[in-house]
A and B are shown apart, each in its own frame.
Chain A
């Protein structure tokens, strides 16, 4: 029934509009509530047991009725029964109604009960929740408390200095003894303060030390660099000291290098080198009483290629390795055309006359600053030494023609000792060698190889006895030493005497005259061209005075014709030339920078020495007065 009533209510609600429905609903609700008796309220009033009894009774009635209906129906008869059935049906309908009601009531009761339970449950749940929350909070707080209780302040990790120390060391404004003594908290604070203070100081110190360390490291770096750069500087100082060494005449470097190279010299050259160096040093020391600026009289040097010298002594293994190659090469060469006999012989000769790649250079200084350069070579296969000579003078020598050969390298040293021409080889054994290769005499090669003087061999310690040929010759230092001094002296005197002779020749003033004679001589005068060799070569191209002299004899020939028919012209011209030469030489202006008397004292009388833009000398002779003047 409740469902019907609710159904009823619902269609009403549905059919009508919203607002009025609500109003109606509320009105109907209130009307119905006013009119309708609430079954919910009724439930509270009725006793559920009784209702249950009622239910049971109703069900029983129904059953009975049903059974009666059934009976009636089964008996058959319609009319009477129909009324009874109807009656019973109506009763059963009422009973159904009751049942429905009871059902409704039961439902309502159930619902109520449920609601109540639900409410209670809800409450319980709420309390439960509260309980849980509180418990949780309690737990949380407990945890916090334990945490707090467990909390260890960092300050407890620090090893603070002990109390006594603290009170001793800390300054009073930190330690605050009066406060801290009583109060542990303050005390700890103070101690911590002190700790902080100390740490700050220490950190400061630490920084300082660090920066110091950096500085020192840098200094170390700089010094290291300095040291490492010292090496090249030392080298350069060594280099720079070379001139100082030279200045002080202590050429250590040079000497050292020389001794290095000297090791590669062949024995005779080595002997010569040693003896010459020794002699040179002895000479220098001998004059030690004089100021040390005296130059060395004798200086020794080694020239040549050390590598080649080293190559001469290549170990034989190399040659063994090459043997197979050389065999192959030989086979090849035999296939090719053999070189001609002459070429082969030439090669053999060259081989025989081969020089050692190193040579010793001796410079002998004479008093007038002229130097004799001697280069000593060693001919390996012939076992003799040769020398090449060269003379250089302090001032350039103007070589007069006749003095040309005086200082020529070929002849300057010949016959230093009597009979020592230096054209033959001193080693008798060489003769046999020469025969093999067809050299007649060494004379042909002397210009190229140098002169093999006997004294040269002696200087190198090579001793060749004249009687028997020896195949092995020992190089002897004592031989060299004994000859060194005499030979040097002889060389010096030779050079000086040759130079003096040369000078003599140079100082002679020579006038060369080229004469052209015409077939129509003496009407057509001979023409002269002059060249004066004196202090240089002077011709009419570079000396105005020569030109004037030529003009004097060529143009003014009329004066010189002499008595008619004038055949004496040529002799007169020549005589005039001699006079002119005299005038020229005597009137040569004296060079003030050179000391010493005039070479040609002035004997002729001249009014003026120079005249005119060309500065001509007085070449005109004034006859009766006897003096020279200009034209």
Chain B
């Protein structure tokens, strides 16, 4: 896809073009900054936008914690008007809340292709899309013309088509980054040295999602081939395979067998996609609860004693572990692809859930019960 910005066209067309882009934008990934005050979102055009969580900030904390550590007060980005400063949640929610408060602080072109996944370490933002992973410093990210710190490409087997990277996973104990995507392999990269240590093969079709099982350091991967595979990190071998579509309770052949989302809680795993969203007991590889959701789910996560899931359809679904639907909170996008919970201890006041998907908006749920407002690209 050619670059969207630099073409010699009259201003009217530019606006039209941008409007069209916004109309067809899909936000694939989100990531919360280590200080907990900023949210990065990546879309299908390869852009990353940094939003500020609209949280109550007292003038006293302004100096130390309001900007990413080490940064100066940034100039306003070229596309947006300056942010009102300081502001509070109530201001954002009030009827006079200006649109600017819901706009990103900065947007930049990160990749050529869509940014399918992002993670944050304690200092970096790692984004991956078409075949390569790039790292950005959170401290520098709000500055104009921010450049990536480094970029890496895992060793692919084929060169005909560059496979996408659908999922990134951080293993903090071993300081590893695991990438998985279009080439059906899991690559492990050491964050210190940047070398790719090993690649795990086993999937027969591309990988959608990764999850980390912390106790025994294992990685779970779910893919288009309908299988969830567990890999032991130390031995770099496949430990267990669960072929979800083969189980009658959850398989839905008319949707396909792809596993679109994974989440694990050490003993339990919840996965969904083509087959129904199901809670599995890992040791016995048996499905314990099938959640009655017709639409394929694209993102799932454990939160306290609930399971949150989102996928085709407007709503963020909250499930009890017993399989009952606790709540369905509609968002503003017709389909959701990513959920992000800001649980950073440094910013407890910004503890919100954000959801993004088939639109240019990021819905913010300050309380899991309703959508407070939306941030927009």
Q: A-side interface residues toward B, CB under 8 Å?
A: 520, 523-525, 527, 540-542, 544, 547, 550-551, 554-556, 558, 589, 591-593, 607-608, 610-615, 629, 631
CA distance A554 to B24 in the complex (A): 8
A629 to B358, CA, bound (A): 21
What is the CA–CA distance of A523 and B116 in the complex, to the nearest angstrom? 32
Q: How far is the CA of A550 from the CA of B164 in the complex (A)?
A: 22
The answer for the CA separation of A291 and B164 in the assembled complex, in Å, is: 57
Is B298 touching A613 in the complex (CB atoms < 8 A)?
Answer: yes
19 A-B residue pairings within 8 Å (CB atoms): A523-B13, A540-B334, A541-B335, A544-B26, A544-B335, A547-B358, A551-B24, A554-B20, A554-B23, A555-B17, A592-B253, A610-B206, A611-B206, A612-B116, A612-B166, A613-B208, A614-B358, A629-B161, A631-B113
Q: Check B23–A542 contact: CB distance below 8 A.
A: no
The answer to whether A524 and B12 touch (CB under 8 A), given A612-B116, A629-B161, is: yes
User: In angstroms, how far is the closest chain B Cβ from the Cβ of A435?
Assistant: 59
- Within the complex, the shortest CB–CB distance from B150 to chain A, in Å, comes to 24
Which applies to chain B's interface (DSSP): helix, strand, loop or mixed?
A: loop
Evaluate contact between A614 and B334: CB separation under 8 angstroms. Answer: no
Which residue of A is nearest B314, CB measured? A541
* Binary A-proximity of B255-296 (CB < 8 A = 1, otherwise 0): 010101000000000000000000000000000000000000
The interface residues of chain B lying within 8 Å CB-to-CB of A589 are 256
With a CB–CB cut-off of 8 A, which chain A residues contact B258?
610, 615
Shortest CB-to-CB span from A530 to chain B, Å, is: 12
Contacts from B to A (Cβ < 8 Å) = 1-2, 10, 12-13, 16-17, 20-21, 23-24, 26, 28, 113-114, 116, 160-161, 164, 166, 182, 206, 208, 224, 253-254, 256, 258, 260, 298, 312, 334-335, 337, 358
Residues of B within 8 A of A611 (CB): 164, 182, 206
Q: How far is the CB of A134 from chain B (nearest CB, A)?
A: 115
| Apart from the given pairs A544-B26, A547-B26, 7 other A-B contacts in the complex at a CB distance below 8 Å | A547-B358, A554-B23, A554-B24, A558-B2, A612-B164, A613-B166, A631-B1
Task: Say whether B298 contacts A555, CB under 8 Å.
Answer: no
What residues on B are CB-neighbors of A556 within 8 Å? Answer: 1
B24 touches A555 (CB 8 A): yes
Closest to B252 in A: A593
Which residues of A have CB within 8 Å of B208? 613
B298 CB → nearest A CB, Å: 6
Q: Say how far B377's CB is from chain A's closest CB, in angstroms.
A: 14
Knowing A589-B256, A591-B253, A593-B254, the reply to whether A527 touches B24 (Cβ < 8 A) is no
* For the complex of A and B, 3 pairs with smallest distance between CB atoms: A551-B24, A593-B253, A541-B334
Minimum CB–CB distance for B182 against chain A, Å: 6
Q: Report Cα–Cα, A589/B206, bound state, in Å.
A: 15
In whole Å, how far is B205's beta carbon from the nearest beta carbon of chain A? 8
| Also in contact, A614 and B253, with CB within 8 A (given A523-B13, A558-B2) | no
Q: Are A607 and B160 in contact (CB under 8 A)?
A: yes
Taking a contact as CB atoms under 8 Å apart, the answer to whether B116 and A608 are in contact is no
Residue A614 contacts which of B2, B20, B26 (CB distance < 8 angstroms)?
A: B26
Report B-chain residues with C-beta under 8 Å of the C-beta of A608: 161, 182, 206
B246 CB → nearest A CB, Å: 11
Shortest CB-to-CB span from B224 to chain A, Å, is: 6
Q: Are B24 and A607 in contact (CB under 8 A)?
A: no
Task: Compute how far the CA of A544 lies from the CA of B24 in the bound complex, rounded to whole angstroms.
Answer: 11
Cα A214 to Cα B1 in complex, Å, equals: 102
Cα(A547)–Cα(B254), bound, Å: 20
B260 touching A607 by the CB < 8 A rule? no
Q: Is the CB of B1 within 8 A of A610?
A: no
B204 to chain A, nearest CB (A): 13
Closest beta carbon of chain B to A102's beta carbon, Å:
149
Chain B residues whose CB sits within 8 angstroms of the CB of A542 once the complex forms: 312, 334-335
Closest B residue by C-beta to A629:
B161
Residues B20 and A527 in contact, CB atoms below 8 Å apart: yes
Q: Which residues of A contact B2 (CB under 8 A)?
A: 558
* Contact among A540, A550, A551, A613 with B116 in the assembled complex (CB-CB below 8 Å): A613
Q: Which residues of A contact B10 (CB under 8 A)?
A: 523
Of A524, A593, A613, A631, which is in contact with the most chain B CB atoms at under 10 Å from its CB?
A613
Q: How far is the CB of B130 from chain A (nearest CB, A)?
A: 9
Give CA–CA (A381, B24) in the complex, Å: 66
Please, how many angstroms separate the alpha-carbon atoms of A524 and B12 in the complex? 9
The residue in chain B whose Cβ has the minimal distance to the Cβ of A518 is B16
In the complex, what's the smallest C-beta–C-beta distance from A548 to chain B, in angstroms? 8
- For B296, the closest partner residue in chain A by CB is A615
Q: Which residues of A contact B335 (CB under 8 A)?
A: 541-542, 544
Q: Please name all residues of chain B whose beta carbon is closer than 8 Å to the beta carbon of A591 when the two chains form the complex.
A: 253-254
